[in-house]
A and B are shown apart, each in its own frame.
Chain A
Amino acid sequence: MTAGTVGTAGVAAVGAAGNPSLVFETGVLARRNLLHVLSDPEQLIGMTLQPLMFLLLFVYVFGGAISGSTRGYLQFVLPGLLVQGIGFGTTQTAIGLNADFQHGLIDRFRSLPIARSAVVAGRVTADIGRTAWTSIIVVGVAVVLGFRFHGGLAGALGACVLVLALGVAMCWLMAFLGVALRSPESVQAVGFMTILPLTFASSVLVPAASMPGWLQAFVKVNPISIFAEAMRGLMLGGPVATPVLQSAAWIAGMSVVFGALTVSLYRRRA
């Protein structure tokens, strides 16, 4: 090993391409996180098949009992299932970010002359890409099974925007959990314990009217229900203004609160 090829002190390579911006750094780190998925076929297959499995199980197991026909239930449940899929899919954000801390990789990133928020932002960006991918797959299969959009082109486009925005908000929530919790095991447990009751005690799978009164009270304020109603309005036609506005407020609130909490915690965590 000759020393000359290894390093020439005093000649900092940094700065040759100017001062890279937060957007650039975020992009480089998002690429790294997407490489994880692409280089791991099991993860790629898992994240693609899991939401499909939910779709098929719910539609063909519960569909007849809940809606009288699987076709009718497919129409009812798909918009909400997309919301649920985002919830479960983004737990990967928490797990991945936490793993970076465990492996000391965060120390490497933090000793580089880059924006400290770029690591979290890169993770969130990549996971929004994943969210978009799984949503497209689920909708594609649902259309093959007989799902039809009744909200027009504007509704369909609106649903796409909402899915992405929701992905951002949920990613920030999960990024917060990933940075706040110490071990990957606790991240997994807390993530699951957050998403499971939130998505089941909502109007995603069944109309709230069939539930006991006290539960209905919770379901009505549960943001997951609000997101599901907004998705239904956009994809099926129907009232959109109220649920979409409420969704936008929740998404903005979650992103700002958990984004700020995550970045400040990330800066302080040694």
Chain B
Amino acid sequence: MTVEFAIRTEQLGKSFGAKRVLNRLDLAVPAGSIYGLLGPNGAGKTTAVRILATLLAPDSGRAFVLGNDVVSDARAVRAVIGLTGQYAAVDDLISGRENLYLIGRLLGLRPRAARARGAELLAAFDLAEAAGTRVRDYSGGMRRRLDLAASLVGRPAVLFLDEPTTGLDLASRNQLWETINGLAADGTTVLLTTQYLDEADRLASRVMVIDHGATVAEGTPDELKSLVGGLVLEVRPLRPADISRAAGVLASLGGAGAPVTDEDLITVAVPDEEMVTTAARSLDDARIPVRHLAVRLPSLDEAFLAITGHHALPEPESTELEGARQ
């Protein structure tokens, strides 16, 4: 395959009624890489994936998968893609084995080959024991694994994963991340949408941040983090009673940003490492003992906040964000 970019869009636009969902989106995903499309709910991530997977026609602009136009050459696109959507698109009423056999047959595999491919995937996704069980008796994690297996039956060169780990427990998520990394190592191009910044950080070699259907930033995760500039100072007071007073002290430091408190952890943006000494001295002057004082690079979430002016996701499990919103 001599296509430099496995996925490419040019000025892609889509509206639903009066709502502009995609606004001149330009996307270029290098072949064989994992590319993260990052943005909050309603940013247009799913719409972009649905257009690329030929499920939705764009209003304007063009999109190509391995050089094939998703509108005029939809069938060629469908032959090379796999899609795992937000909800597991598997047939509840038949077994996992029958699900994969069905997809294999529809992809033109002969019965024996379709059975073999299904068995191979069931084993790889740790579903061999549940192969004959009806999918409606599967756990959430098993359904997701089967869903991903179903999108891999045809050994797609390009895989779309639309928020693949939403609703998964930590163990299942880690397992899925491992699988996705393995696919990319094998040469599959993966376009991953996510609201989880750590997911994009962990998997993607490049990330595009979109908001309201338009690109707000693009680059490697480290480049995006550096867009924030400066560093983040973390302070954990020894006594919980001191938290608000400590935040006040940090707020009064010259050049520091607004402190953000999450339980007993206070974070504040600082321009350089010298601020550590300044902060330590000020806290000591105020007689506030601390048990943790450190500087680090900003997280992707802090980058997102800096770029878009709002957090990526008001997700309960992301406590750092919860604290920040209060």
Asked whether, in the complex, the Cβ of A12 is within 8 Å of the Cβ of B186, the reply is no
Given the known interface contacts A3-B182, A12-B80, A104-B85, the answer about A32 and B154 at a Cβ–Cβ threshold of 8 Å is no
Contact with A along B162-197 (1 / 0, CB 8 A): 000000000000010011011101111100000000
CB distance from A111 to the nearest CB of B (A): 4
- A43 CB, min distance to chain B CBs, angstroms: 9
- Are the C-beta atoms of B92 and A103 separated by less than 8 Å? yes
The smallest C-beta distance from B325 to any residue of chain A, in angstroms, reads: 31
- The 0/1 profile, CB within 8 Å of A marked 1, for residues 138-150 of chain B is 0000000000001
Q: Is the CB of A9 within 8 A of B102?
A: no
Given A12-B79, A108-B89, are A114 and B106 neighbors across the interface (CB < 8 Å)?
Answer: yes
Cβ A112 vs Cβ B103 within 8 A: yes
List the one stretch of A16-24, A61-69, A183-191, A248-256 in contact with chain B. A16-24
Chain A CB within 8 A of B78 CB = yes
| Whole-angstrom distance between the Cβ of A14 and the nearest chain B Cβ | 5
Q: Is the CB of B78 within 8 A of A105?
A: no
The answer on a CB contact under 8 Å between A9 and B108 is: no
CB-based contact B110/A32 at 8 Å: no
A111 and B55 contact, CB distance less than 8 A? yes
Within 8 A of A (CB), among B80-129: 80-83, 85-95, 98, 102-110, 113, 117, 120-121, 123-126
A104/B182 in contact, CB under 8 A: no
B189 CB contacts on chain A under 8 angstroms: 9
> Bound complex: CA of A270 vs CA of B125, how far in Å?
30
A270 touches B56 (CB 8 A): yes
The total of Cβ contacts below 8 Å across the A-B interface reads 151
Q: Which of B76, B102, B155, B182 contacts A13 (CB 8 A)?
A: B155
Over the window 19-61 of chain A, the binary record of Cβ atoms lying under 8 Å from chain B Cβ atoms (1 yes, 0 no) is 1100001001100100110011000000000000000000000
Interface residues on B, range: 35 or more
Query: How distant is the Cα of A110 from the Cα of B189 in the complex, in angstroms?
Result: 20
Which residue, of B54, B89, B108, has the highest number of chain A Cβ atoms within 10 A?
B108
Whether a CB of chain A sits under 8 angstroms from the CB of B266 is no
* A11, CB-defined interface residue at 8 Å: yes
- Most chain B CB within 10 A, of A2, A6, A39, is at A6
Interface residues on A, range: 35 or more
- A4 — which chain B residues lie within 8 A by C-beta? 186
Distance in Å from the Cβ of B243 to the closest Cβ of chain A? 43
A4 to B103, CA, bound (A): 20
A105-B89 CB under 8 A given contacts A14-B107, A112-B107: yes
Mask for A130-157, Cβ within 8 A of B = 1, else 0? 0000000000000000000000000000
Asked if A221 is at the interface (CB within 8 A of a chain B CB), the reply is: no
A213 on the interface (CB 8 Å rule)? no
Q: Which residues of chain A are within 8 angstroms of B186 by Cβ–Cβ distance?
A: 3-4, 6-9
Q: How far is the CB of B177 from chain A (nearest CB, A)?
A: 11
List 3 A-B pairs, minimum CB-CB distance, nearest first. A3-B182, A9-B187, A9-B188
Give me the interface of A with B, judged by CB distance under 8 Å: 1-20, 25, 28-29, 32, 35-36, 39-40, 103-105, 107-114, 270
Docked Cα-Cα span, A19 to B108, in Å, equals: 7
A209 to chain B: closest CB distance in Å? Answer: 46
- Tell yes or no: B156 within 8 A of A by CB: yes
Contact B92 A270 (CB under 8 A): no
> How near does chain B come to A95, taking the closest CB pair, in angstroms?
12
Which residue on chain B has the smallest CB distance to residue A96? B93
8 new A-B contacts at CB < 8 Å, known A9-B156, A15-B108:
A3-B181, A12-B155, A14-B154, A15-B79, A25-B106, A28-B105, A39-B93, A270-B56
For residue A28, which residue of chain B has the nearest CB? Answer: B105
Hey, which chain B residues are within 8 Å of A11, CB to CB?
A: 155
**Known contacts A1-B179, A20-B106, A105-B90; A9/B32 CB under 8 A:** yes
Interface residue? B24 (CB, 8 A)? no
Q: Is B212 an interface residue (CB 8 A)?
A: no
Also in contact, A2 and B124, with CB within 8 A (given A13-B107, A104-B87): yes
B102 interface neighbour in A5, A6, A28, Cβ under 8 Å? A28
Question: Is residue B303 contacting chain A, with contact meaning CB distance below 8 A?
Answer: no
Contact A16 B113 (CB under 8 A): yes
Pairs across A and B, CB under 8 Å, 10 listed: A2-B182, A7-B155, A8-B155, A10-B187, A15-B108, A16-B113, A17-B109, A36-B94, A111-B78, A112-B103
CB distance from B296 to the nearest CB of A (A): 32
Q: What is the CA–CA distance of A29 and B109 in the complex, to the nearest angstrom?
A: 14
Which chain A residue has the least Cβ–Cβ distance from B102? A32
The reply to whether A112 and B78 contact each other, CB–CB distance below 8 Å, is yes
Closest to B148 in A: A6
